[in-house]
């Protein structure tokens, strides 16, 4: 008889251990009330992938903000750059009856149906980083991210100042755009900014090819561009990982990167300012200018949720502040849409 009791106690202990200390950040199904503790705020976060240093920093910032210590339970799902995975994750969050859904959308279109399901379930959706293109904007509560068009206009204004100060004729700028993931608002905004600058200043836009925000893909497309075109003297990389890939390909082709385009160097312009190697390249002058894209949005999203918790009303759209980095000290500021932006020089 005693033996039987001991077995029951051991298996009970085993169950408590199995379920009681499960770490839900891996996205395993959430649980009923008693396991979450009734005062924890449960967040379902659909992150788009892990394609870049920017993305890893963004994920880190969200995990830090929504830690257990801060009173949250974060259910994290990595979409591996596929919208279908993100839609599945959102449907799982709805079944788990999370308190909030945070979505970092891989591309802009195709969200209407699943966000309607979240709305029907009464779960607020907060967008972070990239934007979505939907009919009914009531399907998301608010968006926190970057003004990608402004980032692009900062870089193109910088390049225009550079050509002016160095007496370089517009038609002698032969620029290629290594674009990000096609359809991502960061790609759309940055590409749009370059296209309008090319039209406005008369630069020669040699080619636009997607590097998908990754180093490997960008190395490949840059090598192909160098095969096809012998006059490229500026490369506009839509994130730092692409800049690293482009630099590898340019140096493998026996060419030099730098700002001295009059003497055959190829100028690298980039976005993010997160990747350590890219920042080192900036201080060495191998990358000439980087428009910062701030990944640390965790605290901003946390503040939005805190406001919603007390039925406050966060701004529908809020942009994070961002700088422009360079080592070319002759250009100390750029003017974009009539506003001055100081250039930050890395020491
Ligand atoms: C920008 C973000 C972009 C980064 C890339 O907010 O969407 O996606 O610039 C990342 O590094 O891959
Ligand atoms: Zn050509």
C-alpha to C-alpha distance for 240 and 152, rounded to whole angstroms: 14
| CATH assignment of the domain containing 240 | 3.40.50.2300
Same domain, 300 and 285: no
β 174-179/324-326 pair status: unpaired
Residues 6+ apart with CB under 8 A from 315: 142
> Could you report the per-residue pLDDT of 171-195, keeping only the tens digit for each?
999 999 999 999 999 999 999 999 9
Q: What total of structural domains would you count in the chain? A: 2
Question: What's the mean per-residue pLDDT of the chain?
Answer: 91
Query: Are 171 and 163 contacting, i.e. CB atoms less than 8 angstroms apart?
Result: no
> Could you report the per-residue pLDDT of 80-95, keeping only the tens digit for each?
999 999 999 999 999 9
Same domain, 162 and 266: yes
Q: Which domain holds residue 192?
A: 148-293+325-344
Same domain, 112 and 172: no
Same domain, 7 and 126: yes
Same domain, 54 and 106: yes
Same domain, 239 and 261: yes
Among residues 257, 197, 209, 208, the alpha carbon closest in space to that of 233 is found at 257
Work out the end-to-end distance of the chain between its first and last CA atoms, rounded to an integer number of angstroms.
Answer: 76
Which ligand is nearest the CA of 205, by number? 2
Query: Are 258 and 286 contacting, i.e. CB atoms less than 8 angstroms apart?
Result: yes
Q: What number does the ligand 1 atom closest to the CA of 130 have?
A: 7
**Cα–Cα distance list, 188 to 181, 296, 322 (Å):** 9, 21, 18
Please work out whether the CB of residue 129 comes within 6 Å of at least one atom of ligand 1.
yes
Same domain, 8 and 128: yes
Which ligand is nearest the CA of 274, by number? 1
Give the residue carrying structure tokens 């379920």.
19
What is the three-class DSSP state of 278? helix
Give the pLDDT score at 320: 83
Please work out whether the CB of residue 114 comes within 6 Å of at least one atom of ligand 1.
no
Same domain, 207 and 174: yes
Same domain, 213 and 256: yes
Same domain, 24 and 129: yes
> Residues 327, 330, 336, 340: is their CA dihedral positive or negative?
positive
Read off the pLDDT band of 4 (50, 70, 90). Answer: low
> Could you report the per-residue pLDDT of 289-300, keeping only the tens digit for each?
999 999 999 999
Same domain, 54 and 129: yes
Give the Cα-Cα-Cα angle 63, 64, 65 (nearest 5 degrees).
95
């Amino acid at each position: 008889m005693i033996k039987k009791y001991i077995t029951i106690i051991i298996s009970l202990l085993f169950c408590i251990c199995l379920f009681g200390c499960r770490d839900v950040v891996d996205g395993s199904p959430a649980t009923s009330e008693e396991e979450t503790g009734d005062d924890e705020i449960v967040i379902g976060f659909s992150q788009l992938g892990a394609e870049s240093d920017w993305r890893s920093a963004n994920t880190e910032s969200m995990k830090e903000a929504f830690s257990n210590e801060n009173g949250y339970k974060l259910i994290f799902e990595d979409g591996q750059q596929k919208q279908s995975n993100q839609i599945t994750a959102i449907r799982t969050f709805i079944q788990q009856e999370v308190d909030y859904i945070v979505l970092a959308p891989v591309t802009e279109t195709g969200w209407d149906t699943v966000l309607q399901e979240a709305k029907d379930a009464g779960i607020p959706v907060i967008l972070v980083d990239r934007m979505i293109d939907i009919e009914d904007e009531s399907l998301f509560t608010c968006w926190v991210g970057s003004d990608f068009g402004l980032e692009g206009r900062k870089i193109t204004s910088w390049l225009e100042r550079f050509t002016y100060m160095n007496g370089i004729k517009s038609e002698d700028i032969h620029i290629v755009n290594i674009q990000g993931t096609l359809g991502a608002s960061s790609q759309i905004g940055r590409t749009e900014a370059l296209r309008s600058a090319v039209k406005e200043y008369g630069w020669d836009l040699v080619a636009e090819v997607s590097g998908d925000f990754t180093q490997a893909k960008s190395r490949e497309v840059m090598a192909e561009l160098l095969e096809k075109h012998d006059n490229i003297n500026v490369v506009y990389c839509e994130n730092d990982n692409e800049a690293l890939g482009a630099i590898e390909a340019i140096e493998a082709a026996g060419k030099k990167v730098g700002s001295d385009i009059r003497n055959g160097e190829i100028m690298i312009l980039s976005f993010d300012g997160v990747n350590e190697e890219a920042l080192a390249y900036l201080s060495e002058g191998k990358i000439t200018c980087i428009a910062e894209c701030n990944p640390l949005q965790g605290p901003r999203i946390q503040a939005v949720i805190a406001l919603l918790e007390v039925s406050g009303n966060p701004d529908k759209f809020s942009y994070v502040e961002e700088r422009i980095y360079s080592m070319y000290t002759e250009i100390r500021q750029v003017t974009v849409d009539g506003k001055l932006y100081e250039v930050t020089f890395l020491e």
